[in-house]
Chain A
């Protein structure tokens, strides 16, 4: 029962480097989300995808891009990492668009940008 799987779990980058966080779910969910969690700031929505083929900006999209590769996979890319992007990133999915169901979260990817 994998649920939502995120890779990598830990990553250290230098300022200006790029990287992609991978997320995959095996629950046949339609909607997928990327959040970042920072101390005192809670969970902030970066991007989301209501269904395969669509993506939309959340609260804090600047500096990020996303790809909904297929129904299972939703990746988050940092093109030129900055120290302000040091955070814990969570991917989540839910079965139905319109928020009629439970969000299932991965265990997080801890990113440090030096």
Chain B
């Protein structure tokens, strides 16, 4: 049973365009939704995170949009750059246990 569903699996975007990655979840007890970025040969690193008491969080070119009623959240990368080419993972957790569950990842490629 996949608790966090992520789409698309892969994404190609022109430089300067907007990259959008979507995630959906079922467990209404989830209360923390981070996004991680992973470059080849490296471990994932936290990019941005949101809690369900807000609908949007922005950090530079990266924005999380959160829709609690639809149980969906998405990552938007504005003005995408070749250096953004990486694999992106959404994740979710609830503080009743300490599991952090990841989506299957999206491989993003930004064309120069």
Contacts and interface: CB of A to CB of B under 8 A. Distances in A.
B83 interface: no
Contact of B100 (A103, A106, A108): A103
A99 B42 contact: no
A45 B98 contact: no
20 contacts: A4-B43, A42-B6, A42-B102, A43-B89, A43-B105, A48-B99, A56-B97, A58-B99, A90-B43, A100-B32, A103-B36, A103-B100, A105-B43, A105-B45, A106-B43, A107-B41, A107-B42, A107-B43, A108-B41, A108-B43
Nearest to B6: A42
Given A98-B95, A99-B32, A99-B94, A44 B46 contact: no
Interface stretch (A13-21, A33-41, A68-76, A78-86): A33-41
Interface size class of B (residues with CB under 8 A): 20 to 34
A98 B94 CA distance: 7
Interface in B40-99: 41-46, 49, 89, 93-95, 97-99
Contacts of B101: 45, 59
A40 B102 contact: no
A24 interface: no
Contact of B99 (A4, A41, A45, A102): A45
Contacts of A106: 43
A64 to B, nearest CB: 16
A12 interface: no
Contacts of A4: 43
Q: Which of B32, B41, B104 has the most CB of A within 10 A?
A: B104
Contact of B43 (A41, A58, A92, A102): A92
A29 to B, nearest CB: 12
B27 interface: no
Given A42-B103, A42-B105, A48-B99, A99 B93 contact: yes
Interface string A92-114: 10000111101101111000000
B9 interface: yes
Nearest to B31: A99
Contact of B98 (A35, A98, A105): A98
